[in-house]
């Protein structure tokens, strides 16, 4: 019988490197639900709770913690164990009043860094699309799968925005001289200033020259995010 859909599980040996799991401890890893972030750049919430933060010793305990609503992601209590967590998501643990941010790691992996609520609230979101919705409302599609109204702002694709109460509070323009961080690729997680922007072609993305701590280097526009 042929395959009737995508696999609902994934083996640790073939899991994306973004997961950063110990590949030989167990056979399978929890596959995050589709949506928000891509599979190659997200990890299931249960894996964060059990394997990364060590809040639970096993899957049963981790499920109990998540189902209780004790974990918030970006200010919303999440009860789905396979909820995808990715870049610049903010996790709040009610039990010990702690806050964590998903930040870019070495060569496109990720790090979970402890943070204060004030710092976590200023995480930038990259604009990856702009479209017109019903009644002519212009919406911005953000890198985490969410959308926000562009009303009152001049944000465009490749800019970054800061949100406050679901609305844009600040726009960080994609331009020469702007600060950016590399979120994927061999130069991640370096940061620096944009020196030059070389327009792309039909077969190649725009190239960004960045001046960082290790000198100048180039990467494609998809690999960077503007920061304040």
Give the count of domains, the chain: 3
In the DSSP assignment, the letter for residue 99 is: E
Are 13 and 26 within 8 A, CB to CB? Answer: no
Helices and strands (H, E) in the chain, number of each type:
3, 19
**Structural domain of 66:** 10-119
Tell me what pLDDT residue 2 has.
58
Residue ranges of the chain whose pLDDT lies below 70: 1-6, 19
Rounded to whole angstroms, the Cα distance separating 155 from 127 reads 8
Residues 66 and 81 placed together within one structural domain of the fold: yes
Rounded to whole angstroms, the Cα distance separating 43 from 45 reads 6
Q: For residue 109, is it within any domain? A: yes
Tell me what pLDDT residue 6 has.
67
Return the CATH number at 17.
3.10.290.10
Rounded to whole angstroms, the Cα distance separating 88 from 84 reads 12
Strands (E), 33-153: 42-44, 71-73, 76-77, 84-86, 90-93, 98-104, 110-115, 125-132, 138-142, 147-149
In the DSSP assignment, the letter for residue 221 is: G
Residues 111 and 23 placed together within one structural domain of the fold: yes
Q: For residue 3, is it within any domain? A: no
147-198 tens-digit pLDDT: 999 988 889 999 999 988 888 999 999 999 999 999 988 998 999 999 999 9
Residues 222 and 193 placed together within one structural domain of the fold: yes
- The pTM of this model reads 0.84
Tell me what pLDDT residue 89 has.
92
**DSSP collapsed to 3 states, 191-216:** EEEEEEEECCCCCCCCEEEEEECCEE
Q: For residue 41, is it within any domain? A: yes
Return the CATH number at 160.
2.40.50.740
């Amino acid at each position: 019988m042929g395959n009737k859909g995508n696999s609902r599980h994934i083996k640790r040996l073939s899991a994306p490197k973004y997961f950063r799991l110990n590949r030989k401890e167990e056979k399978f890893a929890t596959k995050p639900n589709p949506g928000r972030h891509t599979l190659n750049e997200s990890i299931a919430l249960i894996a964060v709770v059990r394997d990364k933060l060590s809040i639970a010793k096993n899957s049963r305990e981790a499920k109990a913690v998540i189902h209780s609503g004790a974990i918030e992601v970006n200010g919303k209590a999440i009860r789905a164990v396979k909820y995808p967590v990715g870049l610049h998501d903010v996790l709040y643990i009610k039990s010990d009043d702690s806050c964590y941010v998903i930040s870019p790691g070495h060569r496109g992996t990720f790090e979970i860094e402890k943070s204060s609520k004030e710092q976590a609230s200023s995480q930038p979101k990259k604009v990856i699309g702009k479209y017109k919705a019903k009644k002519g409302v212009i919406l911005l599609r953000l890198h985490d799968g969410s959308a926000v109204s562009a009303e009152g702002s001049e944000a465009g694709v490749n800019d970054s925005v800061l949100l406050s109460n679901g609305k844009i509070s600040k726009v960080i323009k994609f331009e020469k001289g702007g600060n950016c961080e590399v979120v994927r690729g061999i130069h991640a997680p370096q940061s620096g200033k944009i020196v030059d922007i070389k327009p792309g072609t039909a077969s190649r993305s725009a190239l960004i020259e960045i001046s960082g701590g290790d000198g100048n280097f180039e990467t494609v526009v998809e690999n960077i995010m503007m920061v304040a």
